[in-house]
Structure formats: C-alpha cells, structure tokens
Amino acid sequence: MKKFMISAVMALSCLTAMAQEVIKLPAPDKSVAGMSVMEALSKRQSVRSFTSQALTDSQLSLLLWAANGVNREDGRLTAPTAMNRQDIQVYVCRADGAFLYDAKAHALTRVSKEDVRAYVAGDRQPFAKEAPVSLLVVSDQRKFGPRPSPDYGRLDAGYVSQNIYLAATAMGLGTVARAMMDREQLAKALNLVDAQLLLLNHPVGYVKSE
C-alpha cells in the first residue's frame, strides 16, 4: 500500500511538472518574413517534400504569431473567429514533444514528451513526418458554451490555415493543409477531450527540391 502511494505521488508530481513546463517564445520579429502579402499570395502553394532542418525559435515565434497570435491590445487575434469565441487552438508537434501555443503569453506549454509526428502523418502520407514541425489546428467547441458549432469551428480553422500558408511562404518555408491524420492516436497522445475537434494539420519546413 505504501509503495503504491509513493508511486502514485511520484506519477502525479511528474504529470504536474510536465503540465507546468512552459517555453517562452521570443517576440515575433516581422523582419524574418521577406515579402508582401501580395507576393506571398502569388507564391502560395502546397508543399509535400521537406528537409529535416529545424526551425529557429525566431521562425517558430513568427509563424505562430501569424497563425493565431494576439495582434491587438484587447487580446484579439490575427485570425477572426465567429462571435470572437477564439475557439482555435494550435498545437506544435516536433521531435522533442508536443506543445499547446498560448497566444496571450506567446509561449508553448508542453502537453507531451512524445514525438507524435508519425500520428500527424498517418499511414498514407509519410512525407508529413519528415517536416521538423507540424502545427495542429483544433477547434475547442467548449468556447461556444451551451451551443457548440462544428461548422463555425471549421470556418475558423480555415483562416488560421491560410495564415499559416501565407506566413510560411513569406518566410521562405513550405507547408500543406492536411485533413488526413491519425486522429485517435493524436487525441490520446495530446489528452484531447471530445469537444476538441482535430480539423487540420500543417507540416512546416524547408522545401526539399526533388
């Protein structure tokens, strides 16, 4: 009994430590992006071949800010959401684990120590696990209160997805919006609840020329 209690306390403190691990991102430096919105629109395309070269903290910071960061003093975001419910959550998956992007703190909170990129890729598109970073776009339906709206969630996710496309393009990186992924394994690894809809993922990295 005593052994069981000690193991339970250790497991609990491990979990608490993991839940509290927060990585503060550098302030987004917009000079990392080298083109106008019009140029980025001209060049936007889906990329499905990546090198394994890691992104710098500065690149990740700007990418996440552009995707769904705070852009006004009242806490509103770079992407619109229905009724400003701010239901979209962006998870960052890379070799050292998975993290939830906290837009207000501009920080990453660790949710797993596991490399879940193989679950992001799924069985049919192994190229996706080669990218150094995959962003998951999730709609947290709890933000809609008593009237959840998967439709609004999907629309809100689309804006974030396009922000990711344009930011990646402007930063000289490639990405593709993907609906394909192993949702069951990802939900388990990231401890998602049913109300968190895993809508899209975006592998992001340097483009590998064929």
Ligand X SMILES: Cc1cc2nc3c(=O)[nH]c(=O)nc-3n(C[C@H](O)[C@H](O)[C@H](O)COP(=O)(O)O)c2cc1C
Residues 64/70, Cβ–Cβ less than 8 Å: no
Residues 193 and 120: beta-carbon distance below 8 Å: no
Only segment of 12-20, 43-51, 82-90, 167-175 that touches ligand X (CB under 6 A): 43-51
Sign of CA dihedral 76, 82, 87, 88: negative
Find out whether 92 and 101 touch, Cβ atoms under 8 Å: yes
Binding ligand X by CB under 6 A: which of 42, 46, 52, 56? 46
Query: CB-based contacts of 136: which residues, under 8 Å, 6+ apart?
Result: 90, 91, 92, 93, 120, 181, 186, 190, 198, 200, 201
Q: How far is the CB of 175 from ligand X (least distance, A)?
A: 9
- The least CB distance from residue 125 to ligand X, in Å, is 6
> 158 to 197, contacts with ligand X by CB under 6 A?
176-180
Q: Per CB under 6 A, does 207 bind ligand X?
A: no
Which residue's CB is nearer to ligand X, number 102 or number 130?
A: 130
CB 203 → ligand X: shortest distance, Å? 9
Residues in 70-129 that interact with ligand X by CB under 6 A: 125
Q: Is 45 in the site for ligand X (CB under 6 A)?
A: yes
Q: Of the two residues 38 and 179, which places its CB atom closer to ligand X in the complex?
A: 179
Q: Decide whether 3 or 124 has the Cβ nearer to ligand X.
A: 124
Query: What whole-number distance in Å separates Cα of residue 96 and Cα of residue 190?
Result: 14
Q: Which is nearer to ligand X, 61 or 139 (CB)?
A: 139
CA–CA separation, 38 and 92 (whole Å): 27
Which CB, 118 or 180, lies closer to ligand X? Answer: 180
**Minimum distance from residue 164 beta carbon to ligand X (Å):** 11
Please list, residue by residue across 72-100, b when 16 or more beta carbons sit within 10 angstroms of its beta carbon and e when fewer do: eeeeebbbebeeebbbbbbbbbbeebbbb
By the criterion CB under 6 A, which residues form the site for ligand X? Answer: 45-46, 48, 125, 176-180
